[in-house]
Every structure is written in structure tokens, then in C-alpha cells.
A and B are shown apart, each in its own frame.
Chain A
Amino acid sequence: MAEKEAASTSTLAGGEYEAEDVLADAEPWEPIETKLVVWSFIIAGIVLVIGLFIVPTSVLH
């Protein structure tokens, strides 16, 4: 996997598309996903508030 990533990182040259259906069979939503999403938003809010205070060019200044 790592080698494949290293080789393919950043470069698109018209690769082949497998006919697998990766869009079907969605798993049910689980609490860990809620945690992941909610915590991400919470941390964003915290960084936003701190950032608005410390960045001299923010609208607060």
C-alpha cells in the first residue's frame, strides 16, 4: 500500500477505473461517527475563537 501510495501520490495520468461498486451498502451510522464529527466542529470552534483573538488581522482587531 505504501509503495502504491508513494508512486501515485499527486499524479494523475488517467488511471484505469475498476468496475467495483463502492457507492452501495452504506453501513448504519454509529456513535463513533457522531463523536468524530461533533469533536471536529467543537475543536474548530475553539481554534476559531482563539484565532480571532491572536491574529492581528482578524475582524476583532
Chain B
Amino acid sequence: MTSVNRKWYSGMATQEDWWAVYLGLFFFFLGLLSIAGVDLVGWAVYPTKWVFNVPEGGKGAISHAFYALGSKYSLTAKAFYKSLGWWSIIWTYVIFTIATCIGAASMKWDLKRFFIGWTIIYFLTIATWFIGHHAFFAANKTNWHQYGLNFALSLGGGASFILALIFGLIIGNFFKGFANYLSVAAKPEWYIKTAIVFLGVKVGYLPIKAAATSAKMGQQMASLTGHLFLAGAVATIVAYLIFWPGIYLIARKMFKLPRKTAAVLGSGISICGVSAAVATGGAVRAKPVVSIMVSALVVVWAVIELVVLPGFFTHIWPGTADPLVAGSAMGMAVKTDGADAAAGDLLDEFMRNKVTAETNGAVVWPEGVITTSAVMTKVWIDMFIGLWAFVLAMIWVYKIDRRPGETVQASEVWHRFPKFVLGYFAAWFIYLGIFFANGAGAPEGMHVLKAAKAGAVPVEKGFRKLFFMLTFMSLGIITDFSKLAEAKFGRMVWVYFVALFCFIIPVAIIIAYLFHHGMQIPNIAGQVAAG
């Protein structure tokens, strides 16, 4: 930890973290050009609900199952983007293939294998997106009759996420040779970090979207995201300072694990899984195998949480009464960026569909607010990794291992800082700045906000959802459940199980409740009806 002098810019060309920022901000800036009247992102592919037999006067033709988002939102090239239809799949493929291959080459991955793997994963993802949008999966009570159905599962976009995960898990667990081949391109952390930068666009764009209803609604949304920011920060610090020592105690006292293993487990289960386990492993100088074992556990358990928690929070507690408590608790409980943001998005879909169905369409929540609450706490936890690894390194060097003459460089905090967070905040604050700089929803600034919307929607909706889907598929592909069965994992699996379900999740729920109880999501039913 002390012997290697790294420059502040080390890894800028070779780390996934940085490449998530580059990819995310590149497309963010392309989207921003819409303010200048140039629409360069309208080709973003997006699915819509479909059925095999469209009822008379209904909707859901397969020919319209995919469309370019510019065909709806572009102010300058609507006709061109309308002509793309299903071809938007190819446009999106070509442009993102070029972008991701540049990243893969820069990170010195096997480019040929990445290209083939990426191509397979992309088209599998698109196929899954298509299946998941069959009206039987995605339609809800308020609109299933339009597709000629008397019943639908009402899963919204969540069905596609679940299917992507299931298909990925089938590949990862039953076709291991194929999964191994795809692993070069199955990068859930890279995809989700990029999606989180796109989510920054979403958070910044929420007030602009709400301003379409009224200036007051726009300001209300800006205030809500600001409150989520502050509440998420404090909740995360409190949660983490309870999580880590709690897990450490459980591992040391109940399961009699050695100190370093307990420390790595403490960080892995408490913070952000893989990177925290690796960072803490380095800080306390645990054997590399400890970080690897904890990381594997984190990924597998995160997938289990991803499957269980959104349904639990939606249908058992707290339900639609306190959706932001659920979102925030999710952010603190699910231990990888990929699984957390994905679980947050799933929760968002479930909750929005449930509230719309419960109220027969009288209440409609804007998409992405619940996801934002889940990601907000996670982002704060991610920022905490570097600081905590630094604190632990100092305690281990100066107090526990007592290594004479050794020091810990403060620059380690920067090196462990999750860089994709910079992209997330940049995208958020720039769109928020555009909102406030143009009258915060006042009529005289609305033309600029409408132009900003044309570039923001393909990024925050099209690209973000696509990268979420890629994350689910990749997460499934690299998740091998047989690892849990390996004998030497036995005790760690139990530590994780006890810690997660008896400690982390209950504490996360309590803290989320203390800071988010009663927070309301604005109802946009009128806006949807008008649109």
C-alpha cells in the first residue's frame, strides 16, 4: 500500500470506472447538443408493448415493437428518426459497438473476443427486451384491454429485467464454456456505472420533465431530488458506521473468523461489495483469496437480493405507502452497484405499476424517482469506500499489525474514489443548472427546456434502460451458483446470510425510514393524460 507511487491520473485510460465516465459523458454531451438545435441521439432504440394479434381499435403491432426515441421527442429530425423503426436496433448496435470497443482496446482486453461477446450479449439483450415487452408481461390493469387481453402480469419494464437475468443465469450455470467465452464482454460493473452516469441525466432532467405540467411541479421535483441527496448522504454515513462494526462483531465473535477475513467481510457486506472487498483486502493486507471469496459471495447474494427485495418491498412492506423508504433501503442493502441500481429500477417499475393499478390510473408516478433514491444511497456508499479503506489501513498499520516505519498516503483516498460518481453528478448538476438558468419552468424559458428534453430523453431513457438490460444479462452470465456449494465457502456463506438478513436489511430499513418516511413522489397523472 505504501510502496507504489501512483500519479493522480493513474488508470484513467485503463479502468472501467473511468471508461464509464467517458462513455456516459460522451453521450450526455451529444444529447446536450439538442439545445443548439442538433439532435444526434434520437436513434436510441426503445421497445414498446406488443401482441401477436392486435385487437380492432387497439394497439401493440409487432412492427412498432421497437422505435427510435427521436421519432417521439426530436424537435429537428423527427421524420428521419421515425423512418428508422426496427433499424434503430442496428444504429444503436453500431454506435455503441464502436464506443465500447474503443474502451475495451484502451483497457487492453482481448478485442476480438470482446467484439464477438458484446455482439452476442447485445442481441440476446435486445431479444429479451422484445419478449419482456409482450403485453402479457408488461401491460397493467389500466391498459391491458387495449392489447386485447383480459389479464396481464403488470410487471411493466421489470419483466424484461427479470428475463434478462434468468437468461443470463441459464447461460452462466448451464453453459459454462459459453459463459466463460462471453465473460470478456459480460461486464456488469462497467455497464451499470455507465448507466448510472445516464441516470445523472435522468435526475437532472426530472424537474424539466415535471415543468411541462407546471413551473411549480418542476420546482417540487428539483426540491425532491435535493432532499434525496441530503437524506441519502446522512443515512448512508449512519448505516455504514453501524454496518461495518456489526458485521465485524458477527464474523469475529459468532463465527470465530480471523481479523483480516472479518475486516474484508465487514466491508464487502457493508459497502459496495466487490470494490470494497478488494480495497479493504489491500488496506489490511489480507491474502488475495479472501477478497476473491468475499467478492464471489457478494455477487451471488446480490443477485438473490435483486430477485427477492423488489417484490418484498412492493407487496409486503412498505408498499406504495412509502416508496422512497423502500428505494433508500434497497440502496443500503444490495451490495453491488449493478444489482442495486438494477433492483432499484425493478422496484421503480413494480411500485409505479402497483400504484397506477391500485388507483385505476388516478395516481401516476414519474419514472426514475424510486431508482434515484436507491442509487443515491449507493453513490454515497461508493464515495465512502476510499475514506474507509484509508481509515482501516491506518488502524491496521499503526495499531493492529504495528508495522514500524510504514505510512499510508492520503492519495489512496483519491485512487479508491469511484470515478463514475463524477460523471453522475456532472450530468445531474448540468441539467439542473439548465433548468434553473432558464426560469425554472417559467414560460419564457420553456423553449430551451423543450430542446433540452429532446436530447435528454434518448440518453436517460433509451441508453440507460439498454445499459440496465446489459447489466442484468451480464450479471446472470458471470454468476455461478455452484460457487456457493464449494465446501470452503460454507462458513462465509452463513456469515453472509446471518449478517444480511438479520442485520443489514433490518438496519437499512430502519435508517431509511428515519430519513425518508413520508417523502412524497409528485403525481403526474394529469400530465400523462394530457400527453
> Which A residues form the contact surface with B (CB < 8 A)?
1-6, 8-15, 17-27, 29-30, 32-33, 36-38, 40-41, 43-44, 47-48, 51-52, 54-59
Q: 1/0 contact trace for B515-531 toward A, CB 8 Å?
A: 11111000000000000
The answer to whether A15 and B17 touch across the interface, beta carbons within 8 angstroms, is no
| Contact residues in A for B1 (Cβ distance below 8 Å) | 1-2
Query: Is B292 at the interface (CB under 8 A from chain A)?
Result: yes
Is B395 in contact with chain A by the CB < 8 A criterion? yes
CB neighbours of A47 from chain B (8 A): 234, 237-238, 241
Q: Are A23 and B491 closer than 8 Å at their CB atoms?
A: yes
Interface size on B, residues (CB 8 A): 74
Q: Is the CB of B16 within 8 A of A33?
A: no
Query: Which residues of the partner chain B approach A14 to less than 8 Å between Cβ atoms?
Result: 180, 183, 478, 480
Does B230 make an interface contact (CB < 8 A)?
yes
B241 lies within 8 A of A41 (CB): yes
Chain B residues positioned under 8 Å from A6 (CB to CB) = 10-11, 14-15, 415
Looking at the complex, which one of A15, A19, A41, A51 makes contact with B235 (CB distance below 8 Å)? A51
- Contact partner of A9 (CB less than 8 A), chosen from B260, B278, B511, is B278
* Number of A-B residue pairs at CB separation under 8 A: 160
| Residues of A with C-beta under 8 A to B403 | none
Q: Which residue of B lies closest to A61 (CB)?
A: B518
Which residues of chain A are within 8 angstroms of B238 by Cβ–Cβ distance? 44, 47-48, 51
Q: Nearest Cβ in chain A — how far from B202, in angstroms?
A: 20
B478 touches A18 (CB 8 A): no
Known: A5-B278, A10-B189, A14-B183. A52 touches B514 (CB 8 A): yes
In the bound complex, residues from chain A placing their C-beta under 8 Å from that of B478 are: 12-14
Cβ–Cβ contact B287 & A22, under 8 A: yes
B81 nearest CB across to chain A (Å): 35
Measured between beta carbons, the chain A residues less than 8 angstroms from B235 are 51
Q: B57-65, B246-254, B452-460: which one contacts chain A?
A: B246-254
Q: Is B267 at the interface (CB under 8 A from chain A)?
A: no
The answer to whether A58 touches B242, judged by C-beta atoms less than 8 angstroms apart, is no
